[in-house]
């Protein structure tokens, strides 16, 4: 007797689904906490953090290339522009990770339409505006939304890969089981 794929999948997925949701919720809440901590920094603290990143970047370039021309050529003007770029890339990256995590969590719920999942993930990037003394500037909202959108695309690709592998493996198990029943 052959078992339908949907029945086998339903019996196997419930066991690890709850654990996966709990792990993803913990990661999502932790990442939101990280964002709130960064949002709570004042301008001086943010600039100091960017300075440290620029220093590390300069050290890495110096070690890779064998010279420290990048440090010499970064005058005050160029250095501030570079730091600004680092801050905006950090914004993009933070919301990129937030959107991936949110999408992965939302993928565990079958009844939520894909468009709603994507919209929930994008709107999650506005939670920084709830930090005291912070407001969403238009430029930051665009950068954060772009980062979240890229995260959604990566999450969709990951989902497609995982979904395909999982369902192929389950179909293989069913085929193998059905073949073993026929032999008996």
Each of the 184 residues of the chain gets a pLDDT tens digit; together they read 444 545 545 555 677 888 889 999 999 999 999 888 887 777 677 777 777 877 777 777 778 777 766 666 666 667 777 778 888 888 899 999 999 999 999 988 888 898 999 988 888 777 666 666 566 678 888 888 899 999 999 999 998 998 899 889 988 988 888 888 877 6
Compute the distance between CA of residue 133 and CA of residue 25 in angstroms, rounded to an integer. 27
Query: Phi, psi (5° rounding) for residue 84?
Result: -60, -45
Compute the distance between CA of residue 140 and CA of residue 134 in angstroms, rounded to an integer. 11
Burial letters 105-122, b for 16+ CB under 10 A, else e: bbbeeeeeeeeebbeebb
Q: What is the pLDDT of residue 1?
A: 46
Compute the distance between CA of residue 169 and CA of residue 159 in angstroms, rounded to an integer. 15
Q: What is the pLDDT of residue 90?
A: 86
Tokens for 116, please give them: 């709603």
Q: What is the pLDDT of residue 161?
A: 93
Q: What is the pLDDT of residue 6?
A: 54
The residue ranges of every structural domain in the chain are: 12-149
């Amino acid at each position: 007797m052959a078992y339908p794929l949907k029945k086998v999948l339903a019996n196997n997925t419930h066991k690890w689904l709850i654990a996966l949701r709990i792990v993803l919720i913990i990661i999502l809440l932790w990442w939101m906490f990280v964002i709130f901590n960064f949002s709570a920094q004042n301008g001086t603290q943010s600039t100091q953090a960017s300075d440290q990143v620029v220093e590390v970047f300069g050290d890495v370039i110096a070690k890779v290339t064998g010279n420290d021309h990048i440090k010499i050529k970064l005058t005050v003007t160029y250095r501030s522009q570079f730091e600004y770029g680092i801050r905006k890339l950090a914004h993009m990256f933070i919301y990129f990770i937030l959107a991936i995590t949110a999408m992965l969590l939302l993928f565990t719920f079958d009844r939520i339409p894909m468009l709603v999942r994507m919209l929930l993930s994008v709107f999650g990037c506005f939670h920084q505006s709830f930090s005291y003394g912070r407001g969403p500037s238009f430029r930051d909202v665009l950068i954060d939304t772009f980062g979240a959108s890229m995260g959604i695309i990566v999450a969709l690709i990951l989902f497609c890969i995982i979904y395909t592998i999982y369902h192929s493996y389950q179909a293989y198990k069913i085929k193998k089981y059905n073949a073993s029943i026929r032999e008996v």
